Copies of this chain bind each other. A is one copy, B any other.
Amino acid sequence: MVAPTCECPDPEMHPVGIACIALVTDFGPGIYVGQVRARLSASVPGVPVIDLVHDLAPFRPDLAAYLLPALVRDMPPGTLYFCVVDPGVGGERGGLIVEVGANWFLGPDNGLLSRVLHRADHARPYRIGWSPKGQSASFHGRDWFAPAAARLCLGQPLDLTELGRTDPAGAEWSDELAAVVYGDRYGNLMCGVRAASLPAGTRFRAAGRLLRRARTFCGVPPGEAFWYENALGLVEIAVNQGRADRLLGLEPGDKIELLSDGEAELAYV
């Protein structure tokens, strides 16, 4: 018997070679992660599961969408990203799978996966038609997306429908988002803007202050707020030996302002 030859493997027919499941949620500490892990562990015990992030801003897929591509940038291939930030659970939004190279992203169709979809040249979105009987109305992460992730690992049917690139939610969202999308443990503020997208000398204004660029924390005096390209490639606002969130009074969802060189000069006067 000869294996079928095609450029686009059909996930309905073939196990897709998933080496690892990475969890990306706003579940926080608490009971939800364990419930999902127990389901995955029972269904696909041989697949390692990694907690990539669980403290995304609650109920804000519009912010998480801009962190997600940065978060996975340097991850090993063959990963299934289980992505759940899902304020509309129990409502009408569907379930989505996006295939990007050797990786898969699975989650609610609410814009969360829109940036990984639109930034890749050959990403392919699918609507998930399968759903289990008797699932709860309020915990699709455990009751729908976890068993769907297991079925994807096992090559079992998910009743997938391939979609056009602009069919899933969030197609119209901007390429970059000039806002805080994630606050880390140290008070640093990650923004939805890729540093590589910016001209040299770019400054930001946030909370009434001008922020200049530095290479690292050691490049500015203690207590000064600045921005730098963080280890994920994003614009990050930080304070040397301090907390940017407290100094600037900013949190995820707050806007920042991008200034051209000329504007920055004016603002200094």
The chain A residues found within 8 Å of chain B, CB to CB, are 20, 22, 26-35, 37-38, 41-42, 45, 48, 50-55, 58-59, 71, 74-76, 87-91, 136-139, 142-143, 182, 184-186, 215-219, 228, 230-232, 241
5 A–B pairs (Cβ distance < 8 Å), ordered by A = A31-B52, A58-B185, A90-B218, A90-B219, A136-B230
Chain B residues with Cβ below 8 Å from A33 are 51
For residue A134, give the distance in angstroms from its CB to the closest CB of chain B: 10
Chain B residues with Cβ below 8 Å from A71 are 31, 35
Q: Of B45, B142, B231, B241, which is within 8 A of A138 by CB? A: B231
Q: Of B26, B30, B48, which is within 8 A of A55 by CB? A: B30
Assembly CA distance A53 to B30 (angstroms): 6
| Chain B residue at smallest Cβ distance from A56 | B31
A29 touches B41 (CB 8 A): no
A30 touches B184 (CB 8 A): yes
Copies of this chain present in the complex amount to 3
A75/B22 contact (C-beta < 8 A), A51-B33, A55-B29 known: no
Assembly CA distance A51 to B54 (angstroms): 14
Chain B residues with Cβ below 8 Å from A232 are 31
Chain B residues with Cβ below 8 Å from A91 are 216, 218
A59 touches B142 (CB 8 A): no
For residue A252, give the distance in angstroms from its CB to the closest CB of chain B: 12
| Chain B residue at smallest Cβ distance from A26 | B185
Chain B residues with Cβ below 8 Å from A186 are 28, 58-59
Given contact pairs A38-B76, A41-B76, enumerate 8 new A-B contacts (beta carbons under 8 Å): A20-B38, A20-B41, A29-B29, A35-B71, A37-B51, A58-B186, A87-B241, A90-B218
Q: Of B184, B228, B231, which is within 8 A of A142 by CB? A: B231
Chain B residues with Cβ below 8 Å from A37 are 50-51
Assembly CA distance A230 to B35 (angstroms): 13
A48 touches B41 (CB 8 A): yes
Assembly CA distance A153 to B36 (angstroms): 24
B53 touches A34 (CB 8 A): yes
